[in-house]
Structure 1
Amino acid sequence: MHPFLILTLLGVTVCTVVTQYMIRVGIMDVPGNRSAHARPVPKGGGVAMMMSLLAGAVYIVIFHPFPATEYLKTGIVLAAALGLAWFSWRDDVHQYPPSMKLRAQLIASVIVTICALWGLPLTLLTGLKIIGGVGFVIYVTNALNFMDGINGLAVGTIACCGLILTPLLLVSAQNSESALFFSLGIAALTFLYFNYPKARIFMSDVGSQPCGLLLGWGALLFMRNGTWSLLVPLMLMGILFDVTFTLIRRTLKGENLMQAHCGHLYQIAGRAGMSKPLITLVHWLFIFWGGLVGLTFIGFKAQIILALVPQFIWAGYVILRARGHHLAL
């Protein structure tokens, strides 16, 4: 059987079995005043995604060995993601302070950034690239986590990105990386069945944070290769724009950025009466639009402008809809 077919069967099976187990365990997410759900829903579904990802990695190691250097870097990245998942699971249960979360993200981000940029000459420019890469990975990790507020939005993003990046990494002869992203895409696509349009379980931080870390790592891989350099950020433009727009808006209003809120564009759209499944579909369309733009060979500035156009249209529409419903922005 073809390795990717086996990875599919393995990923679907493991993710389904573990997700159903987590539903039965019933660690509940009780709704609060910022929640999009009205009744308690089991959480921790990201555990199933991580177990599915790990199972795929074990299969590749045993049956389709790659050169040791590929194993080393990809294995370290996977270990960092699983470590962040473990911490995030404990955080889901015990609620650690934000400073502890940031330290865990920083450690994991440093690890995956060094792995992505490994082999570059030890120069000041490389040091600056590492610092910028770490900051970017942390931002993507938190952005995906912030956007995991309605059914299917975050996990659908993970599924789309993982499966789109798989063949492109194969073309670039990054075989172990491609296998890892394929396993990630299959795990997310399987979990999506349990999460969208009606959620039987939530992914929670144990899924969103390590997956955000891996997407940030994938972005650095493409940036280093120089082919389709901005592909991943352009695919994630809907998420990155929403988070950046919200941070700027809250800063200008003098709000405490460390305080929890429900002021993201996607949340405002939901409060203004827009169907939540439709909001999720809009964000999936952003991914494919960004991917198409990122695969073109026009200049970087043109790519960024083309990716931003639908974001400004979306923001304008949400603001107008919110004003029509007399919602404070």
Structure 2
Amino acid sequence: MSAIAAAWLSGGIALVASVVLPFAVRPLLVKLGIMDVPNERSSHERPVLRGLGLAVLIAMVVAGVTAVLLFVLTPFVLPGWQVLLVVVVGSFCAGLLGLAEDLRGLSVGVRSALLLAIALGAAVALLLTVQTGVNYVPAAGTASFGWPQATALPLWGAILLAVYAVLFISSYINVANFMDGLNGISGFHGVIAGLTFAAAGAALGMPWLLAAGLILAAGFAGFLPWNLTKPGAFLGDVGSYLLGGAVAITSFAALVAGVPLLATIGPMVIYFGDVAVTLVKRVRAGHRWDEPHKEHTYQRIQQLGYSHVQASGLAATATLLTSALGLGSLFTGLGGTIALFAAGLVVLVGYLALPKLLPRR
């Protein structure tokens, strides 16, 4: 089986499993009484079942393990299966941490320590895997883009990258959790981020990245019908932690494998920007940053009278634009990359200004 066929098959498995598994998972959640009760942070008005991200977690792990096996068991072992395995295991661990938070709750100290441990484990595993020569085979024609394969790093460089990864991955898991406040927003984000990574993998001849992206996109696409139709259901922490972990770990894996930085962070710009600006504003106003609130840009848009899907769609549109700009860096040099970066900042500023620009409904 070819690398492309293995990637698409794995994505198909993730989609079907994510659509079907809630039929089995939902009754279990109902029996356990895992409900999201409206509070100061909520944008819904009635209790809603949460934790359906468990179905997405199972679907993505099954599809991810299938992809790894397909990569390994072909007559000629496909390159990058070790990187894909690290992405699958790291994402699984992030989802399990969220599941523990849904079921019993964790103290801030324990949760933070486990987040850092997951991020450190993923970072070290990826650096060791890529730096020992497990990389990709560039597809025909991609050499003209001028992006070389990852090269060996000095020890100090690997340490700096590891520190960056720990902060990057652990913080984005929290960011994804903060942004999971409207119907559709996390599902849209997972689909866009996954397709962005898949596009980068296809363009640069990285079959493992193609597979990881398709599995991510398909897993959250399968959740959307359950989230957007009555009676509805939420991902819960298991789903938002899975989303943050899968996006951040895949992004870092792509970076250390040689994908241009803008292409790896394009899907994350809006989420990082929304959370960072909101927290800074709250701290400057004298509020505690960790108190429940509804002051994120996407929440303020919804409070203007826009539906959940409309507000989530605006955030998704901005993410789609920054993702497309990031992918543009695959085909340009330094000057073009700087221009694309500036354009991404314009998109972010425009998104953050939407609560003031949009008419009230």
TM surpasses 0.5: yes
Q: Root-mean-square deviation (CA), in Å? A: 2.5
Any idea what the Cα deviations from partners look like across 1:223-261, whole Å, max 9, x if unmatched? 334443212322222211101110111121121112222
In structure 2, the partner of 1:93 is 103
The corresponding residue for 2:54 is 47
Q: Which has the higher contact order (CA 8 A, sep 6+)?
A: 2
What one-letter code is carried by the residue in structure 2 that aligns with 1:304?
F
Structure 1 counterpart of 2:286: 254
The one-letter code matched in structure 2 to 1:17 is V
Residues 247-276 of structure 1: CA deviation (Å, up to 9, x unaligned): 111121121112222211111222232222
Alignment of 1:1-329 (within 5 A): 2-25=5-28, 26=30, 27-65=34-72, 67=77, 70-118=80-128, 119=131, 120-196=152-228, 200-296=232-328, 297=332, 298-319=335-356
Shift of 1:133: 1.9
Distance 1:93 1:21 in 2: 18
Corresponding residue pairs, total: 324
Change (3 A) 1:122 1:198: farther
Residues 319, 101 of structure 1: alpha-carbon distance in 2 compared, 3 angstrom cutoff: farther
- Mapped to 2, the partners of 1:5 and 1:213 lie a distance apart of 22
TM-score normalized with structure 1 length? 0.89
CA shift at 1:307, angstroms? 1.0
The amino acid across from 1:305 in the alignment is A
Give SS of 1:263's match. Answer: coil
Query: Partner residue of 2:148?
Result: none
Deviations 1:39-87 (A, max 9, x none): 2211111111111112112322444427498333432332222122122
Q: Structure 2 unaligned runs (5+)?
A: 132-151
Q: Secondary structure at the match of 1:48?
A: helix
TM-score by length of 2: 0.81
Report if the CA contact (8 A) 1:223-1:230 is conserved: no
- 1:321 CA drift (Å): 6.1
After TM superposition, where is structure 1 displaced by more than 6 Å over at least 4 residues in a row?
Answer: none
Name the % identity.
21
Gaps of 5+ in 1: none
The CA distance in 2 between the partners of 1:227 and 1:61, in whole Å, is: 21
Question: For 1:223 and 1:60, how far apart are their aligned partners in 2?
Answer: 21
**Do 2:97 and 2:241's aligned partners in 1 also have CA atoms closer than 8 Å?**
no
Sort the Cα spacing of 1:124 and 1:206 in 2 relative to 1 into closer, same or farther, 3 A.
Answer: same
> For the structure 1 residues 239 and 17, does the alpha-carbon distance in structure 2 shift closer, same or farther, using more than 3 Å as the test?
same
Distance 2:161 2:173 in 1: 18
**Cα distance, 1:235–1:87 mapped onto 2, change above 3 Å:** closer
